[in-house]
Amino acid sequence: MYDFVVVLFAKYLYLLPVAIFVGYGFFTHRKKDFFLFALVVLPVSFILSRIAGHLFYDPRPFIDSSVIPLIKHVPDNGFPSDHALLTGTLASIISVFSAPLGALLWVFAILVGGARVLAHVHHTLDIVGSYLIAIISILVFYPFLESARTVFSRVLKYLNIEIN
């Protein structure tokens, strides 16, 4: 039963934060700000993670020890964890708009990251590094949100797209 729960969380739990994130985006009264923020922060997070992955190599636990992973995985660089990066970035974005919902998404992110460690496909460093990249991505863009909002509104108006 333990292995089943770990595998379930490690492979599929990230889908719940994705669904909550998308749902929040459609029901928030700050749709423009939310989608603008997401459209910038998600790619920034991804780009920073690729840079970090080229600067730091951390072999997966099943490569450098005799543990058997609970999930089949290619033996590549484990840093940073894509699952932890995605859930951490979604949690960080939501936290800017709704602290309680952001806290819930952080709980899911930690469960996903912990399960990835327990499944022996990541080290704790891979998970924590992903969360730091997610938070840095928010901190990089947040100061520019107001000026980006103006540009985003002009682009939407030019494209004749209305988001309330």
How do the domains of the chain map onto residue ranges? 2-158
**Integer angstrom CA distances of residue 66 from 59, 63, 69, 120, 137:** 13, 8, 10, 10, 35
Binned at pLDDT 50, 70 and 90, residue 160 comes out as confident
- Which two three-digit tokens encode residue 117? 């460690």
Distance CA 126, CA 99 (A): 25
Buried b (16+ CB within 10 A) or exposed e, 12-35: ebbebbeebbeebbeebeeebbbb
Q: Do 33 and 149 form a contact (C-beta atoms < 8 A)?
A: yes
Q: Do 123 and 61 form a contact (C-beta atoms < 8 A)?
A: yes
Specify the DSSP element, H or E, that contains 59: none
Mean pLDDT calculated for residue range 49-76: 90
Q: Do 113 and 48 form a contact (C-beta atoms < 8 A)?
A: no
Mean pLDDT calculated for residue range 44-59: 94
| 164: pLDDT strictly greater than 70 | no
Sign of CA dihedral 95, 98, 100, 101: negative
| 125: pLDDT strictly greater than 90 | yes
Sign of CA dihedral 106, 112, 115, 116: negative
| 131: pLDDT strictly greater than 90 | yes
